[in-house]
Every structure is written in C-alpha cells, then in structure tokens.
Chains A and B, each alone.
Chain A
Amino acid sequence: MSSSTVRKSGAFDIASLSQSTLNFRRYLVLAAVMVTASLGDVFLSAGMREAGPISIHHLSSLFAALRIPWVLAGIVLLTAFFASYLTALSWADLTFVLPATSFGYVLIALLSKFWLHETITAGRWAGILLIMAGVGFVARGPSYTNHGETTFHESPSRTGALEGPADCAREHSA
C-alpha cells in the first residue's frame, strides 16, 4: 500500500505508520555517528585536562582552550559526527538514531581493554550487555515514523519515507 493511498483513505492513523528506511550505506552513516562521537569526546577530554579548571569569572578562557590541539582534533571529529548525525536524522527518528548509535560506548570500553589493557569490572560488563540489549531492541524495530507530511521542496517524494532508501538513479528517472 502506498503512502498516498493511506492518506487519501483517511481510514488509517498515519502517525502510527513506521518502517525501516535503512540500507548498507545508511548503516555506515550510523557507524560514523558512533565512532566520531566517542573519539571526539575522548579527545576533548584530553584537551580540557591540559587546559585545567576554568573559573566562571574567566569564561573567555574557554575560547583560549580552542587553541589546544586535542581540543581542535575533538572539534574536527565532533563536526564529522554532526554531519553524519544530521544525515541520519533526515531518514530516521531521533528515538531510533540515539540508541542505535550508543554502541560507541561499548567500542570505547572494548578498545580500552584490548588496546590499552585496562581492566573491565563486572559492573562495566553489565553496562556493555545493557547497551547491546538496547541497540538490539531498537535495531529490530522500524527506523522512521511517517507523519504523512509534505515538506521542503518535496512533492510526492518526501513522503517517500514509506518508499524506502533513496536511489539517485530512481530519483532522476522519476
């Protein structure tokens, strides 16, 4: 059933319609979100440790911190995170993207164990299992809630959230 059919009929609750809009490239975008966000936080943390405590009376010192290489590297990674995050939000719900990309926390914990040889306590293993369960729950469900809205320069195609992932060749032939 096409989205337009659903809208015309008026017999269905459009807001409750959801479906998966994911393909391989979009899974890569979600992977980029999780990796850049985690590494960006780690780099920023290293940079701010270098900067030391900043007093509320000298907030301008925050701008001076922007000259620290770790902070700059963190900002570059977080910019990459932002670009991939925006892309993901254009074809998936906020409540899908956030849990689905939380696997980055697990990635950092596993890197710290196998690369930095840090100890992972039982509590942390429990945390890893909980996050993986959360990712599993959300990944098996629909990624997008269709509100049936027609939006920015869109004619029929934006409602194509129900048509599945974009394909440039198909777009041009349409």
Chain B
Amino acid sequence: MTHAARSAVWLMIGAIVLFATVGDVLIASAMRQVGDFDKIRCRTGLFGAILAVLGNVRFLLGVLSMALSFFSLLYALSWAEVSLVAPASAALTFVTNAFAAKWVLKENVDRRRWIAAFCVCAGVFFLSR
C-alpha cells in the first residue's frame, strides 16, 4: 500500500470515528432526555416508547451522524481490509467517546472507566494485529 493510499485509509477511519462519536453522543443524550425505555414501555406500550424516541430531535440528528459513519465504513471497507478498518475505528471511538461523554454528557467518567476505555482500545488494537 502506497503512502497516499495509507493516508486515505486513515482519513476514512478518521471520518468514521468523528461521525460515530457525534452520533453516539447525540443518541446517548437523546435517550437520557427520553428516559428509561423500560418504564415508558410499561406505561405506553412498545409503540408509545418508539414514538417517544422517534420524536426526539437529538435522536434524529444522531441517526443522521451514525448513517454518515456507516456509509464511511462501507466506503472504507471497499478499499481496505476489515481487519484494519473495523478494529482501528472501534478502538479510537472508545477513547473519543470517553472524552465526549465526560465533557459533553457530563457522565461520571471515573478512573475505573478511563482504565476500561484504554484497556479495550489497546485490546482491540492487539486483536487486530
């Protein structure tokens, strides 16, 4: 693989990670706004719960971002090995999501969760070698 091709693949991986992180954060934020899915399903049934989710703007924007990530993944997979693209994008997304969850979602990302994110990131890296 030439230097230019390698750069293009990493650019695609960057796009997958960016869209996936934005999508994850928007969707997590939407589900937090909507509330406990199980409780809503108890009150209004499955249809009511689905409507509650589909009516949330953050959810729709999150899905749009995830769709962009998905098509970036399809595009990247048609050029590069899945053994590079899937683990690399997944591993990087764990770390970017941890940062985004702490600063945007204000989740309690304690030392335990940081260690978990980096363990999984390194684990996915090793698994893909």
Known: A53-B78, A145-B108. Is A153-B35 also a contact (CB below 8 A)?
A: yes
The A-B contact count (CB < 8 A) is 194
Secondary structure class of chain A's binding surface, majority of residues? helix
Chain B positions 11-46 with a Cβ under 8 Å from a chain A Cβ: 24-25, 27-28, 31-40, 42-43
Query: Do the beta carbons of A94 and B37 come within 8 Å of each other?
Result: no
Query: Do the beta carbons of A166 and B39 come within 8 Å of each other?
Result: yes
**Chain B residues, Cβ within 8 Å of A132:** 123
Query: Do the beta carbons of B78 and A48 come within 8 Å of each other?
Result: yes
**Chain B residues, Cβ within 8 Å of A141:** 110, 112-113
Known: A86-B31, A137-B116. Is A157-B124 also a contact (CB below 8 A)?
A: no
Q: Tell me the bound Cα distance from A140 to B102 in angstroms.
A: 19
Q: Tell me the bound Cα distance from A91 to B75 in angstroms.
A: 33
Which residue of chain A has the shortest Cβ distance to B115 in the bound complex? A137
List residues of B whose CB falls within 8 A of some A CB: 24-25, 27-28, 31-40, 42-43, 52-53, 56, 66, 70-71, 73-75, 77-79, 82, 86-87, 90, 93-94, 97-98, 101-102, 105-110, 112-113, 115-120, 122-129
Query: Do the beta carbons of B106 and A15 come within 8 Å of each other?
Result: yes
Per-residue 0/1 for A146-168: is the Cβ within 8 Å of any B Cβ (1 yes, 0 no)? 01010111100110110001101
**Chain A residues, Cβ within 8 Å of B40:** 152-153
**Chain A residues, Cβ within 8 Å of B108:** 15-16, 18, 93, 142, 145
Per-residue 0/1 for A31-45: is the Cβ within 8 Å of any B Cβ (1 yes, 0 no)? 000000000010011
Query: Do the beta carbons of B101 and A95 come within 8 Å of each other?
Result: yes
Query: Do the beta carbons of A90 and B77 come within 8 Å of each other?
Result: no
List residues of A whose CB falls within 8 A of some B CB: 15-16, 18, 21, 41, 44-45, 48, 51-54, 56, 59, 62, 65, 78, 82, 86-87, 89-91, 93-96, 98-99, 102, 105-106, 109, 121, 123-124, 126-135, 137-138, 140-142, 145, 147, 149, 151-154, 157-158, 160-161, 165-166, 168, 171-172
Looking at the assembled complex, report how far the CB atom of B38 sits from the nearest CB atom of chain A, in whole angstroms: 4
Looking at the assembled complex, report how far the CB atom of B84 sits from the nearest CB atom of chain A, in whole angstroms: 11
Q: List 14 other contacts, CB 8 Å, given A54-B78, A95-B116, A133-B123.
A: A18-B108, A65-B78, A86-B37, A93-B28, A95-B97, A98-B93, A102-B124, A127-B127, A131-B124, A138-B112, A152-B35, A158-B35, A165-B38, A168-B42
Query: Do the beta carbons of B112 and A151 come within 8 Å of each other?
Result: no
Which residue of chain B has the shortest Cβ distance to A149 in the bound complex? B32
Q: Tell me the bound Cα distance from A15 to B106 in angstroms.
A: 8
Which residue of chain A has the shortest Cβ distance to B73 in the bound complex? A44
Query: Do the beta carbons of B75 and A54 come within 8 Å of each other?
Result: yes
Query: Do the beta carbons of A147 and B78 come within 8 Å of each other?
Result: no
**Chain B residues, Cβ within 8 Å of A157:** 35-36, 39
**Chain A residues, Cβ within 8 Å of B28:** 89, 93-94
Interface centre among B38, B101, B110, B120 (most CB of A within 10 A): B120
